Amino acid sequence: MIYASNGAQALARRRVVPSPGTGVEHWGTEFFGPRYAREPAPGPQAVMTEMAAHEEALAHFHGVTQFQIFPAGSGKMGRSDIQALMVQFKDHHTAYGPIIAGPQGLSFVSLRVKIDESVPVYVRSPDAREKLKPSKRRNIFSQPLALSTEPVLQFRREVAWEPLFEQKYDDGLDGHMLRLGAGMSVAGPDPRSAGGYYLFVANGALDRDGEIYPLWSMVVVDRDEPSFEIKAGPKGLEAVVMQFPIEA
């Protein structure tokens, strides 16, 4: 199955929500599925958190594998600097954080190909060790991804697939920045070679059967789909394509 969410329509539903760890108020947006889940359910789950200036999110883990994309703001995760536009992959039951937003805040979108145990388990909680399960424990970051200016993107003549990660993985995990000029199209990755994938519109727009999906829109392609054509809108497209490992 293919799922699509229009970024502008999703952001119109942005609302104030409390942090589950600290109670600090920030902003939340759901693109697919519920904000949190405690048990499996059909469909993908994608939620955005927009942290307040200097807010801290406590170190934690989730029971579900995810990508995270940081489209705006800046901050730190542990000792690492975070800035737009960076991508993180994290296996299930893999701790990360704390996340500390910079003076202009920090936005991140958590992307999961399935709804499962996504309620955060905080590392300092008494039952955290009991809730840990076997995992590859990968926690991988891309370098910051540069976005094109509007005319350079619009008049691009060649398709570019730029890898997010230096290492290759044998379970289908992969990621690329895809760059297309106005109206150009290309076949997406074979969904069956991995655990399905997300496409996130980072610049320009996606044209899906004549419907335009603007900035911060996203598409999920299940691994049971035979193929998916990626087509740029009238001013081109830069999209982050994130392939999940098969076990996800």
Q: Which of 115, 141, 167 is the last residue of a domain?
A: 141
**Can you give the CATH number for the domain in which 229 is found?**
2.60.120.10
- Give the predicted TM-score (pTM) of the model: 0.96
Q: Which of 141, 170, 193 is the last residue of a domain?
A: 141
The answer to whether position 248 is within a domain reads no
The answer to whether residues 133 and 100 touch, using CB atoms and an 8 Å cutoff, is no
135-163 pLDDT, tens digit per residue, is 999 999 999 999 999 999 999 999 999 99
Q: Which domain holds residue 184?
A: 150-243
Q: Are residues 161 and 122 in the same domain?
A: no
Q: Is the pLDDT of residue 74 over 80?
A: yes
Q: Are residues 196 and 157 in the same domain?
A: yes
DSSP 194-215: TT-EEEEEEEEEEEETTEEE-T
Q: What is the pLDDT of residue 181?
A: 98
Q: pLDDT over 70 for what percent of the chain?
A: 100
Q: Which of 87, 121, 141 is the last residue of a domain?
A: 141
The answer to whether residues 178 and 238 touch, using CB atoms and an 8 Å cutoff, is yes
The answer to whether position 118 is within a domain reads yes
Rounded (10°) CA dihedral 207, 87, 120, 43 = 30
Sign of CA dihedral 111, 45, 56, 91: negative
Q: Are residues 154 and 114 in the same domain?
A: no
- Rounded distance, CA 197 to CA 242, Å? 5
Q: Are residues 184 and 220 in the same domain?
A: yes
Total of domains in the chain: 2
Q: Are residues 101 and 6 in the same domain?
A: yes
